[in-house]
Amino acid sequence: MAWMLLALPCLTAALAFGLARRGSLAALVAVLGSATTLVLSVVALAGAPTGARGAPFAEGQGSGPGSTLGGIDLTLQLSLSTTSAFLVLVVVLVTLLVQTYSAWYLADDDRRGVFHASIALFAAAMLMVVLSADLVLTVVGWEVMGWCSYLLIGHWSRREAPRRAGHTAFIVTRIADIGLLLGVSVLIAGAGTSGRAEVIEHWTSAAADPGTRSVALVLVVIGVLGKSAQLPFHDWLLDAMEGPTPASALIHAATMVAAGTVVLAQLLPLLLRAEPARALLGLSVAATMVLAAICALVEPDLKRLLAWSTISQVGVMLAPLAAAGTGPTAGAALGHLYGHAIFKALLFLTIGWLAVTRGSTAAGALVGSGRSHPVALLAWAAGLVSLAGIPLVLGGLTKEHVIAAVGEDVGARGLVAHLVLGSLLVTVVLTAAYATRALIVVVLGGEQRVRARAVMPAAVSGILVVLAVASIVGGLALGGRLPDAGHVPLGLFVLVLALVLLGVAVGYALSHLGVQQRLVDGRAGRAVGAGLGVGTLQHLVVVRPVTALARLVAFLDREVIDTYVRAAAWGVLGAGDAGTTAHRRSRPASGLALLGGGLLAIAVITAIVLVGAS
């Protein structure tokens, strides 16, 4: 079943790619393929076994073609549990909606077939990460996802900016992946197998060296920070806004940035035993979620505002993994993954439509655009309500779970946990504030009445309505499918409600008093719009030195190593010439010299061999 779930999107991708020249046919195949996968994943969810406590991904029950690579056992297994099946369902649902949406969004694009195929492959890669019971397969899915993101972000490659954005995204995540590859290699090399169940068993046993384990997990966390766009790797996700909006929706919602959460949840037993790794993760997410939320507040472009929001929300998602106790950690993180996937997909798809009506994603251009269609208005509002975390709606529920999980006896878990909790609470306020800002700009702003009703295809409004409803009442689907996310005490509920209301008030006050506009237009807005200059910093710290080093190496190779070779070649040719000359003269002395030289050479070589032999 698990392999079927993987094979279907792969097949869809292959078919769509084969039909790429006939765009609408490829789109049809892509949509039908995703729909079939969705049906299959519902069936899978109904029949999936519940993972044992502590192993919600049911590593033990995998199936796959075993193989050996020298001394390493490659199990290459996929496994299906209620938890993984539920995540699969979320991924496939978002993929289906995105495929359908792209059929409209890219209707005039001459390369839409390739786009649909890339989306299908991208989803397959994410499914592989979710279903994998094997560390190598996890890496496979992880890297293929990165490659697809390169293709999707750079889809409009006739323009300079998308080319650069795709390039940056791949290189930045690939640099972070050095960590993941090494970390996974250490885990596999130690355990002698790539099966996750066995790896976890080996590294949690008494025989495992805690130091090595911590190092391996720190490396894995570095990889996760890269893919999840956390500090200091957040830059690529902002540049990625150059890609087509449906691709952004997929990257931001259920795949790519969320993959790190899944992988760490799968490796949770090891992560909980590696304090340095958790501390690193905690410091990064605590800083990222607050900083990104502040940036979202002053970002001049609404699509980039959503990107900042993703960076911040992924930090929230990772927070329980970094700082919660042993109980509700995975449940809280995966729950927020689900909630975020739904409302972020909704927001991106909505702004995609809005931007088409106004021809830009800049906040200034989108003022009042929400009023041009009731479905857009509803969708935008529902997404933002969920993002802001109003209690009882999906986003609010999952966010409360995260805070409850981190807050539960936080006193016993040291400084980093306190820091993460503090950041979470601050982020709640900031998130509500920027959500309010986004709502005000799109819905209330603009003096002139919007007269023209823009056209919205039925499929698009259907998609937006489905996601909007799920964003509000999606919490009902949580139930027992994900691991226990803990419970929210009444006091916390009230606290979060108060913070959200505070945030809404702040957001409203900022725009009402005009401070918002000054911030956005001022130096802060420009700095945030330029991604805080991290791109320049990366250029200075990484690109320039590496290029300089490369020039040095090329120089050394040309002028030093090659010199010996050239000298040897000249030497041989010169000796040949000398020999010819000597031969022509044919004097006894030169004959003697040749003979003597030859004998000498033979003697030297014989001596070397003899010395070696004795």
* Interacting residue ranges for other proteins, rule: CB under 8 A: 65, 67-72, 74, 76, 136, 139-140, 143-144, 147, 150, 154, 157-158, 160, 163, 167, 170-171, 174-175, 177-178, 181-182, 185-186, 188-190, 546-547, 549-551, 553-554, 557, 561-562, 565, 568-569, 572-573, 605, 609, 611-614
Distance CA 27, CA 523 (A): 44
DSSP for residue 362: B
Place of tokens 């021809």: 359
Distance CA 410, CA 414 (A): 7
Residue 78, SS3 per DSSP:
strand
Instruction: Give residue 4's region: left, alpha or beta (phi > 0; psi -120 to 50).
Output: alpha
CB of 479 to other proteins, least distance (A): 35
CB of 71 to other proteins, least distance (A): 5
Instruction: Give the strand pairing for 72-74 and 67-69.
Output: antiparallel
Alpha carbon 287 to chain centroid, angstroms:
18
CB of 596 to other proteins, least distance (A): 21
Of 215 and 365, CB closest to other proteins: 215
Of 50 and 563, CB closest to other proteins: 563
Which value, in Å, is the radius of gyration of the alpha carbons in the chain?
29
DSSP for residue 107: T
Distance CA 339, CA 264 (A): 18
Of 374 and 545, CB closest to other proteins: 545
Q: How many CB atoms lie within 10 A of CB 515?
A: 11
CB of 490 to other proteins, least distance (A): 48
- Which tokens go with 605? 């070589």
Distance CA 429, CA 277 (A): 28
DSSP secondary structure, 129-166, as one string: HHHB-BHHHHHHHHHHHHHHHHHHHTSSTTSHHHHHHH
CB of 242 to other proteins, least distance (A): 13
Distant-in-sequence, close-in-space partners of 494: CB < 8 Å, separation ≥ 6: none
Q: How many CB atoms lie within 10 A of CB 167?
A: 15
Of 140 and 532, CB closest to other proteins: 140
Alpha carbon 238 to chain centroid, angstroms:
12
- Which tokens go with 17? 């790619």
CB of 7 to other proteins, least distance (A): 11
Of 521 and 570, CB closest to other proteins: 570
Distance CA 338, CA 91 (A): 9
Of 72 and 287, CB closest to other proteins: 72
CB of 60 to other proteins, least distance (A): 22
CB of 342 to other proteins, least distance (A): 29
CB of 414 to other proteins, least distance (A): 30
Of 109 and 484, CB closest to other proteins: 109
Alpha carbon 311 to chain centroid, angstroms:
10
Instruction: Give residue 408's region: left, alpha or beta (phi > 0; psi -120 to 50).
Output: beta
Distance CA 217, CA 135 (A): 13
Of 179 and 282, CB closest to other proteins: 179
Q: Can you give 299-359 as a three-state secondary structure string?
A: CCEHHHHHHHHHHHHHHHHHHHHHHCCCCCHHHHHHHHHHHHHHHHHHHHHHHHHHHHHHC
CB of 598 to other proteins, least distance (A): 15
Of 222 and 323, CB closest to other proteins: 222
Residue 481 phi/psi, 5° resolution? -75, -35
CB of 67 to other proteins, least distance (A): 4
CB of 136 to other proteins, least distance (A): 7
